[in-house]
């Protein structure tokens, strides 16, 4: 019999900026300074686009498990404080201000079940991915918390000239969070981006934003890729190699990486986030065909 367990996805309090189904910035702008994005007034105007700020931690969200873990029926739904289902992809704001972003944990570090937001299901719950009706697992544990940036989308109709003309993979942007604490499925962490890896998976561009939780003891020490090399030596290479090789045990070729096979800078990661947030905004406004994607 299916069971349901309700848990808090986030507990602490801060200010946040709620995107009104619109991107914050135009693509023809420079990468912005995120240090002054949140205001105490109800509504402000930035580059002629509106957003609202509330002085409570967002999201004020619970997670509800339905079914048993590691079964085909298992789902992790997100609920607002009234008990209504919301989407972790569409309804959780991306930007928190002060250079921080919301990050939704799909796969906790040191686990191998391939969990992901079900982008084609109503309210996009987290479920375990399947192939030919069987649950999918990585061949070995992933060593970092892994998940998505809400309100982002890699547009499969857009060919990125900077990354070998690869098209987006039709999913939210992935995050590899390098902090020491193991997250939980559906947990929402405040992170700051440090760099970006341009993985090319069977011809599709699948960005990996390297980030760290603001609650990590070493978060203040790292602000860009060079800091990662200094304070987390070998981590960027380990992340690249892990994602390059994880399909090899299943008889598939290794994945490739663009941008010189190296992690790009924090500024480049912010550029990726802005562009994919713009793409998501076009998607939810139905300026781009959604196909089988759920926009609820």
Residues forming the active site: 138
For residues 157 and 11, give the distance between their C-alpha atoms in angstroms, rounded to a whole number. 38
242 burial level (CB within 10 Å; 0-12, 13-18, 19+): middle
Instruction: Decide: helix, strand or coil at residue 58.
Output: coil
Nearest Cα to 216, choosing from 175, 266, 263, 182?
A: 182
**Beta-strand pair 4-8/62-66:** antiparallel
DSSP characters over 183-198: --TT-EEEEEEEEEEE
User: Which residue in 128, 234, 243, 112 sits closest to 176, CA to CA?
Assistant: 243
Report whether 194 contacts 223 (CB < 8 A): yes
Measured on CA atoms in the order 226, 239, 103, 166, is the torsion positive or negative? positive
User: What is the Cα–Cα distance from 17 to 189, expressed in whole angstroms?
Assistant: 15
Tell me which residue of 22, 83, 13 sits closest to 283, measured CA to CA.
Answer: 22
CB 139 within 8 A of CB 93: no
- Indicate the DSSP class of residue 264: B
Residues 234, 203, 209, 6, Cα dihedral to 10°: -110
């Amino acid at each position: 019999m299916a069971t349901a367990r309700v848990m808090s996805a986030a507990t602490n309090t801060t200010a946040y900026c709620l995107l009104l189904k619109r991107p914050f910035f135009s693509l023809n702008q420079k990468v912005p300074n995120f240090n002054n994005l949140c205001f105490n007034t109800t509504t402000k105007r930035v580059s002629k686009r509106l957003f609202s700020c509330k002085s409570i931690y967002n999201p004020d969200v619970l997670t509800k498990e339905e079914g048993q873990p590691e079964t085909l029926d298992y789902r992790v739904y997100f609920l607002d404080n009234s008990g209504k289902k919301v989407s972790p992809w569409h309804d959780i704001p991306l930007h928190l201000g002060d250079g921080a972003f919301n990050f939704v944990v799909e796969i906790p570090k040191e686990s191998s079940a391939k969990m992901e937001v079900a982008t084609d299901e109503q309210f996009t719950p987290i479920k375990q991915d399947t192939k030919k009706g069987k649950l999918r697992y990585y061949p070995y544990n992933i060593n970092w918390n892994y998940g998505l940036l809400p309100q982002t989308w890699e547009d499969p109709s857009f060919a990125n000239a900077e990354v070998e003309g690869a098209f987006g993979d039709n999913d939210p942007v992935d995050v590899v969070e390098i902090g020491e604490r193991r997250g939980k499925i559906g947990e929402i962490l405040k992170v700051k981006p440090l760099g970006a890896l341009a993985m090319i998976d069977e011809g599709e561009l699948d960005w990996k934003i390297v980030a760290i939780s603001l609650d990590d003891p070493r978060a203040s020490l790292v602000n860009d890729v060079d800091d990662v090399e200094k304070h987390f030596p070998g981590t960027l290479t380990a992340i690249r190699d892990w994602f390059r090789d994880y399909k090899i045990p299943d008889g598939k070729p290794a994945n490739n990486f663009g941008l010189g096979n190296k992690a790009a800078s924090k500024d480049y990661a912010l550029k990726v986030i802005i562009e994919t947030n713009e793409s998501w905004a076009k998607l939810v406004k139905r300026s781009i065909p959604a196909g089988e994607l759920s926009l609820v």
